[in-house]
Homo-oligomer: A and B are copies of this chain.
């Protein structure tokens, strides 16, 4: 059965409720800044996290809470990352306790996350004051939660799909936020996924860890890797499928649906990168091995010069070749073909490492679209990889030149 996109975000799978309110961490009263996602029952839960040595306190507490592979709620604030504060762990633990007191879920079954400025103490009181409102408003409110986790994001990021596992209808839903300090290696700030599939914590972790390699870890907005990156998935089993406890066709069906959601979110995150006007996809084929393809794709997508050229709709393929050359992997430059494509067409610009003549007019037309693919053929094998990013614009600088004040 085909995957089918459905409505509902994290509330699309059975047994999940969500909410988001304004609690006051952010000054703008119109902006929700406090989110909660709750499962009716304890759910197998897996996570992947930033590999930055500087880890937000919530990341440390969440990892600890997920040691047993189960959780029942995700709580998250935006506006303050609760990172590099001497009372960070304490505040993160107390945030989990708020859920316990409001809803009777053990604080050890809570995933806690924070996003925003680093190094400013996070005050518990706005959250303590609004936990009741947050809990009482739980319902089919995935969009409220999606809004509440946003920082410099300009659009809410949400997806849900329906699929079948052994003939049983299941669903996965997700919300995510970016959109600066985003770089390959558990790339995205926060991604929360829910599912009603029945799966063991071990298989869920295996699926998630494998998946992020081809989705969130292939995303770069600005090459800066956040201290708070967290991607968690709760699977509560309420769909009633036969428990997935090993690899096989059921596991595959789940992975396929998961990958649909994660790649879709990855693209959304790239397109909404800070200041971005364009989604840039870099597709590398013909590599000798997967690692080579991935390193090349990431190097190109991260290049400030490539990103700036894409902003200017400038077919400066020399910069693409240059970024391939410093990717740190062995590539036969004299075998490399490069083309640019978009819904307006495909244009080859480089064959065997050398430039070929092309129409600047057609190049401009292709590159003026808001979704552009840089196609690279290494002509050295069959491995491939795709990375996603965005253009580098005046607005990126503007947003980040004065973020705190």
A interface residues with partner B (beta carbon < 8 Å): 51-55, 81, 83-86, 117-121, 180-181, 183, 185, 222-227, 302-305, 308-309, 311-312, 314-319, 321-326, 331, 333, 350, 353-355, 360, 392-394, 396-405
Contact = CB atoms under 8 A, between A and B. Distances in A.
19 contacts: A51-B326, A53-B325, A55-B325, A84-B321, A117-B318, A118-B322, A121-B355, A181-B305, A181-B322, A224-B305, A224-B323, A225-B325, A227-B322, A227-B325, A304-B396, A309-B400, A312-B402, A315-B404, A316-B404
Nearest to A228: B322
Task: Give the number of copies in the complex.
Answer: 2
Nearest 6 CB-CB pairings of A with B:
A118-B318, A312-B401, A54-B325, A308-B400, A119-B355, A52-B325
Contact of A396 (B55, B181, B225, B397): B397
Contact of A326 (B52, B317, B360): B52
A355 B85 contact: yes
A227 B320 CA distance: 11
Contact of A317 (B119, B331, B355, B393): B119
A120 B321 CA distance: 13
A304 B223 contact: yes
B403 A180 contact: no
Given A355-B119, A403-B309, A322 B394 contact: no
A70 to B, nearest CB: 29
Interface of A is mostly: loop
Nearest to A53: B325
A81 B355 CA distance: 13
Given A308-B397, A360-B405, A397-B308, A84 B314 contact: no
A394 B392 CA distance: 10
Contacts of A118: 316, 318-319, 321-322
Contacts of A317: 119
B119 A83 contact: no
A321 B224 contact: no
A224 B319 contact: yes
A383 B55 CA distance: 25
Contacts of A53: 324-326, 331, 333
